[in-house]
């Protein structure tokens, strides 16, 4: 959970992907939901789904590849949160 609207979380997720030098970053976001996709150097897809979970609160789900990668997911989550100092 992140204390911000989905559109702002989507922007932060795109910046986090760029920080990690991910490829083919595509993001779309509205006030109620958002989605960011990218690929890592191995070609694994990375999907970040963002949905509104309350007033100015967003639920973020991160999936790396077909089976997931907890370390990369945690790294992305931390990077997304770090970008709220700049919004």
- Band of pLDDT at residue 87, cut at 50, 70 and 90: very low
Q: Which fold has domain 6-85?
A: TATA-Binding Protein (3.30.310)
Q: CA–CA separation, 52 vs 85, rounded Å? A: 20
Q: CA–CA separation, 70 vs 4, rounded Å? A: 23
Q: What is the pTM of this model?
A: 0.91
Identify which of 3, 9, 4, 18 has the alpha carbon closest to the alpha carbon of residue 49: 9
Q: Are 67 and 45 in contact (CB under 8 A)?
A: no
Say what angle helices 6-19 and 70-82 make with each other, to 10 degrees: 120
Summarize the confidence of residues 65-86 as an average pLDDT. 88
Summarize the confidence of residues 44-52 as an average pLDDT. 96
- Band of pLDDT at residue 66, cut at 50, 70 and 90: confident
């Amino acid at each position: 959970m992140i204390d911000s609207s989905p559109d702002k979380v989507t922007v932060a997720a795109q910046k986090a992907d760029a920080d990690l030098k991910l490829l083919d970053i595509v993001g779309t976001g509205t006030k109620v939901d958002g989605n960011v996709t990218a690929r890592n150097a191995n070609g694994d897809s990375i999907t970040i789904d963002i949905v509104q979970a309350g007033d100015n609160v967003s639920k973020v789900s991160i999936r790396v590849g077909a089976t997931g990668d907890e370390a990369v997911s945690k790294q992305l989550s931390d990077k997304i949160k770090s970008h709220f100092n700049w919004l």
